[in-house]
A and B are shown apart, each in its own frame.
Chain A
């Protein structure tokens, strides 16, 4: 058992690594170009001090130095050092040319690096989104939205940074270090050693510091989160605060946490300022070492002034990159966690066709045959349900909370799969397991108890299942759902923007918009899962009438607790704790002496009884 677990984590790790590589498809080339550009820019950065050096030592100073034949060849082409000494503008122009090369390379680096980073981010986001959309409903029901979103946003950001900032920076800095080292060595090895002396220490120190401070930052973040949550709670609970007269308590509590959080930063002020200033001292010392020993070497004739100036330039160029390197390395560890967190989502299995994926006609009889079902880890919720619903008829379902009526609909729409051996559901004799999921869902219009609208306009929401639906069809569906008049009364009519999660519409309006959305599909099977409850009785009746006249040929399933809603159904099912308690027409059940009759009596008699 334990062994199995171990191999699994190993597999997971391999999956994580492979995943990042996979994500990099399409952006790898950009990163390669950007790194090459970075190398060119670094090289150019190294060349211009060399031009200055030659200007000072050879052209202007008239001294001989040990230059490579390649360099001498170029110099000779421009007329030799003596000529250049007379025409120093040529060397100044050379600096500008090198600068132009550098600048173009830097530009390419930035642009291609961003292209890579953004392509990578886009790939990651797109793949995640598409994957999440196709994960089974059971997965969605099990996971918290906030957590998934965090993985899709901040973890993706961390991964992007890992590749586009940390990896490329480290590469760039290493190239810079190698290049400056070789240029310095080509001039004077003694001074090179001295100039490079503090470098390893600076890198190590910065790495250690940032690793340590990273933990402190995490603590700060957490406490900022606490403080933020406290403010949030105070604002949402303002009524409670006021009604209990607890302003003073809230103030003290907030100030205390605020003080604590601020204190954490205050405590960091000293080590951070110390780190920075000691780093300043170290880089200052590095330059001073070059100045002092460089002067000494010059006086001893082992080095020329131009070389000395070039050394100073290299020293200055290295200061920041070297400090960055430690930080980058310390931050790389964060990426591993993020990759694993994203891999967790990507590893979940998407909904897939299990059976034959048939696409039969759906305007056929629906048949539940000895269906039993339990959610994972929960007791059985449906017990041995059997019934047949003739095509084109209306089925009414009556049942209390937890009676399993919504579960039945989830199974019918294959949002949960009915496991083998738990009975079967068939449409026109074809087992649901063999019907292609998309085909099935396209042919079933379902209006949920709590309708979900998208943050688009009303028209876009109603016509969401098709790309270009004519306005007339939208309005027709809207009329059938008794929504048209309401929408027309809005200032922007059908172009009214529905706020996030439909906040600008009332419950009843949302419900009707969802009904209209379903009606546009003109599906042969329609399910209204308690979806008429949020509208008043008259609207309920109007909508049902419209359904009857316009969608007479469709099979309609109505779930409701209103007898008036159910009474016209061809067949009514009474569901009690996962079992069919009664089945029949309104007329039959009304006299059946069961639950239905009782409810029927209560509802019809309620008016008189109430007044009594």
Chain B
């Protein structure tokens, strides 16, 4: 699956503008964070001044006359500084997680409205990291990175001002070291970022190797390629070590340069400022403090800038997600009457009957280049059972997608109860549709929660009846806590067959007028198979149903069978008609019949 092409449209100012709206709710915390960090850093700049006073006044003049006031002021300074740092750190953290939360909600909620074409073009993993990690990076950028840079800039500015005020010449000499270090650091930075990226990639490669070595264990054994796999693994870990050590050299050189720069500044102070020590030892000591303390901030600031550059990618990707428009949209008029997906106006909803009509429908997937349907007409009055058959991957779900309005026709219209589906809201339609997937999808939570997914108001009796109808009562009774058993992530605590049955019961509880069912091909044991078969017969009764069919009985009894080949409908009609025609359907059916009969004998 291809992900969004990373079109490098560079956002202005590192894309910060796109984040600004999300900072609106944090004006007060932002204000306190900025204030706190600026004042905090200024206070920290003040500490060497006290040391200077102590040296110049107490030691230089040999008196402790002002010691009480000195201690009080010093204490006030320390506590005041800590207080401001406290305020800025606390608010920074709140902004970080707050912005993170807001962005995540925004992304998640927007995803609920995006069309399936988006989901088809982007892998779940890709979308997932937009929601989970991009938001986090941006959150920490607008809080910690900002806080740190402000603090450090504050410190550097404060120190420079104080030094200039006290001894301009010496100050200029010390400051001269600064641009030199900035230059050096920025040189390192680009290479470091690159090295880090390479290491990350290698790391995921190694995780992938482990994955392969474990999931492919059986194949590796039968092919006797343990040694070969190990060799290629060792090659990967070797290049990992090489790259990591290389990066460490780089990082080491980087840190070392910084340390040396502060020693250089210190040496300059001693060399050029040594004379001051004779008269004003405090001033000398103060310069030493600043000289050593000023290089660290420079590193932080360079770091912050590189942070900004790397986070730009995250901002771009997240923004692209948030700005993607859904292909299927309810018009303003429709929303005014029927409400949207989050705030439905159920009082205006007409009851749905379940008649479906395709009228001169042509369709092409937004990311496809071939027309799948051309001037297609089909009448599916309420209660009709439509079966769609064809080879795997032949594009059988297209019709179901159109009926569910997951996609809209390129031309023509799909009528629901005689009116264009677009005249009513998506949620109105969806609330009347039951959808059972080939690979049953359950959510983590209890069995009950899953059953209630389509109908939160279902009563205990209704649940019971639904389970009975699809013979899933046994499944639930077998579970330790019955309906309140946790099914695990994706329902993994249950077997595929059990999941299938539960998802049938879920569909029945929703009592949809229209049912879309993608039959499973997965092999389950005979008894479960029979249960599933019976369940399907039960649930399609009294509804309009569209079944992407694999089971012969389902196909045979269908009112209309559509045969799909290479994405196109090549035959349609009832079972007898299609068998007589001896075309695609005939061949498909015969082969499947053979398989099924064989398995029924083998048991």
A contacts, CB < 8 Å to B: 48, 52, 55-56, 60-61, 88-89, 91-93, 95-96, 98-100, 102-104, 106-107, 110-111, 113-115, 117-119, 121-122, 125-126, 129-130, 132-135, 137, 140, 145, 148-149, 152-153, 227-251, 254-255, 258-259, 261-262, 265-266, 268-270, 272-274, 276-278, 280-281, 284-285, 287-288, 291-292, 294-296, 298-299, 305, 308-309, 312, 316, 398-403, 413, 415, 438, 441-442, 444, 446, 448, 451-452, 454-455, 464-465, 467, 500-501, 506-507, 517, 521, 537, 561-562, 576-577, 595, 598-599, 602-603, 606-607, 609-611
Contact = CB atoms under 8 A, between A and B. Distances in A.
B536 interface: no
A250 B70 CA distance: 61
Contact of A137 (B104, B108, B217, B274): B217
Contact of B590 (A88, A240, A261, A610): A610
B97 interface: yes
B244 A242 contact: no
Given A243-B516, A277-B85, A441 B221 contact: yes
Interface in B85-126: 85-87, 89-90, 93-94, 96-98, 100-101, 104-105, 108-109, 111-113, 116, 119, 124
Interface string B254-286: 011001100110111011001101100100110
Given A305-B59, A403-B602, 19 more contacts: A92-B274, A111-B245, A118-B240, A133-B220, A137-B218, A242-B426, A244-B430, A258-B104, A277-B89, A288-B75, A296-B58, A298-B59, A308-B55, A309-B285, A312-B289, A446-B222, A517-B223, A598-B601, A603-B594
B539 to A, nearest CB: 14
Contact of B54 (A291, A517, A602): A291
B333 interface: no
A442 B226 CA distance: 12
Interface string B410-433: 000000000000000011001101
Contacts of A236: 124, 441, 490
Interface string B43-77: 00001001100110011001110010011001101
A541 B184 CA distance: 69
Contact of A561 (B77, B79, B267, B595): B595
Contacts, number: 415
Contacts of B112: 234, 241, 247, 250-251
Given A233-B489, A441-B222, A248 B86 contact: no
Contact of B268 (A92, A132, A599): A92
A106 B98 CA distance: 39
B248 A114 contact: yes
| Nearest 5 CB-CB pairings of A with B | A400-B602, A243-B435, A99-B263, A114-B248, A245-B430
Contact of B116 (A129, A238, A292): A238
27 contacts: A55-B270, A95-B267, A121-B237, A129-B209, A132-B214, A145-B215, A148-B214, A152-B210, A233-B441, A234-B108, A240-B435, A243-B433, A243-B435, A245-B433, A246-B454, A247-B113, A251-B109, A254-B108, A258-B104, A262-B100, A266-B97, A292-B54, A296-B64, A438-B224, A442-B224, A501-B215, A602-B598
A118 B602 contact: no
A147 to B, nearest CB: 10
A292 B71 contact: yes
Given A88-B271, A247-B341, A452-B219, A231 B128 contact: yes
Contacts of B260: 99-100, 103
A401 B93 CA distance: 57
Nearest to B57: A295
Contacts of B35: none
Interface of B: prevailing SS:
helix
A312 B288 CA distance: 11
A246 B453 contact: yes
A248 B344 CA distance: 9
Interface of B: 47, 50-51, 54-55, 58-59, 62-64, 67, 70-71, 74-75, 77-79, 81-83, 85-87, 89-90, 93-94, 96-98, 100-101, 104-105, 108-109, 111-113, 116, 119, 124, 127-128, 131-132, 206-226, 228-230, 233-234, 237-238, 240-241, 244-245, 247-249, 251-253, 255-256, 259-260, 263-264, 266-268, 270-271, 274-275, 277-278, 281, 284-285, 288-289, 341-344, 392-393, 404, 406, 426-427, 430-431, 433-435, 437, 441, 443-444, 453-454, 456, 489-490, 510, 516, 523, 525, 579-580, 586, 589-591, 593-595, 597-599, 601-603
Main secondary structure of the interface of A (DSSP, over half): helix
Contact of B237 (A126, A292, A299): A126
Contact of A262 (B97, B209, B241): B97
A126 B341 CA distance: 52
Contacts of B74: 288, 291-292
B532 to A, nearest CB: 15
A273 B86 contact: yes
Contacts of B456: 249
A149 B54 contact: no
Which of A93, A129, A132, A281 has its CB near the most chain B CB atoms (within 10 A)? A129
Nearest to A252: B342
